[in-house]
Amino acid sequence: MPLIDYVDPDRFVAGTVGPAGQRTFFLQAVDGRRVTSVSLEKAQVAMLAERLEELLDQLGADDDLPAIEPDNAPLTTPIDDEFRVGTLTLAWDPESGRVLVECLDSTVSVEVDETGEPSVAVDEPDSTTLRVAVSPAAAREFARRAGALLEQGRPPCPLCGDPLDPSGHICPRANGYKR
């Protein structure tokens, strides 16, 4: 099981490629000339940012955080996707005083047995893991940037809440009329 490990990288950010509604989301760790990018779902970025905020709030980690300059730069290119993230884990390492984020490329499959009951299986034959250890200040900056990134998507429909395309959408709350 290959491990790609970063401890206090120069950058650990979430970013996107593509126009709103067709974006591909990435996590990227950069240390010097070494760059690792992994793709994931928008919901995974949202959940990671939310859980990071919760973890840091529980730790009271804002009390003595050094100021970090906001990172609003685009993703480092070229963006070569190492793998698609199947599982994310988040932990606090009290010995190093760092937040640990692990991205695994395990695939999840749902199989139905002879009784018709679904069962979930996680396949990890040759899974790769990206592990990034960052300071609480860097984790807080990651969460801030991810939140801003998520807000840049398509605006929601005022009736149903689904994302609006530039050409509108067929709204279920408007009886199928285009908004």
Residue 40, CA distances (Å) to 53, 61, 84, 165 in order: 19, 27, 6, 22
The pTM of this model reads: 0.76
Please report the pLDDT score of residue 29 as a whole number. 96
Which of these ranges, 62-66, 109-113, 120-124, has the smallest mean pLDDT? 120-124
User: For residues 48 and 136, what is the distance between their CA atoms, to the nearest angstrom?
Assistant: 14
* CA proximity to 13, closest of 104, 144, 113, 122: 144
What's the whole-number mean pLDDT along residues 72-94? 91
Task: Classify residue 52 by burial, with Cβ atoms within 10 Å: 0-12, 13-18, 19+.
Answer: buried
For residues 81, 82, 88 and 91, what is the CA-based torsion angle, rounded to 10 degrees?
A: -120
Place of tokens 């299986």: 121
Please report the pLDDT score of residue 46 as a whole number. 94
Beta-carbon count within 10 A of 32 CB: 7
Reduced to 3 DSSP states, what percent helix, strand and coil does the chain have, rounded to the nearest 5?
20, 35, 40
Query: What band does 172 get if pLDDT is binned at 50, 70 and 90?
Result: confident
Please report the pLDDT score of residue 48 as a whole number. 96
SS3 assignment, position 112? strand
What's the whole-number mean pLDDT along residues 56-79? 81
DSSP state of 173: G
Radius of gyration of the chain (CA): 19
What's the whole-number mean pLDDT along residues 39-58? 93
Task: Identify the top-confidence range among 10-24, 88-102, 124-138.
Answer: 88-102
Please report the pLDDT score of residue 32 as a whole number. 93
Please report the pLDDT score of residue 102 as a whole number. 94
- Using the predicted structure, report yes or no on whether residue 105 has a pLDDT greater than 80: yes
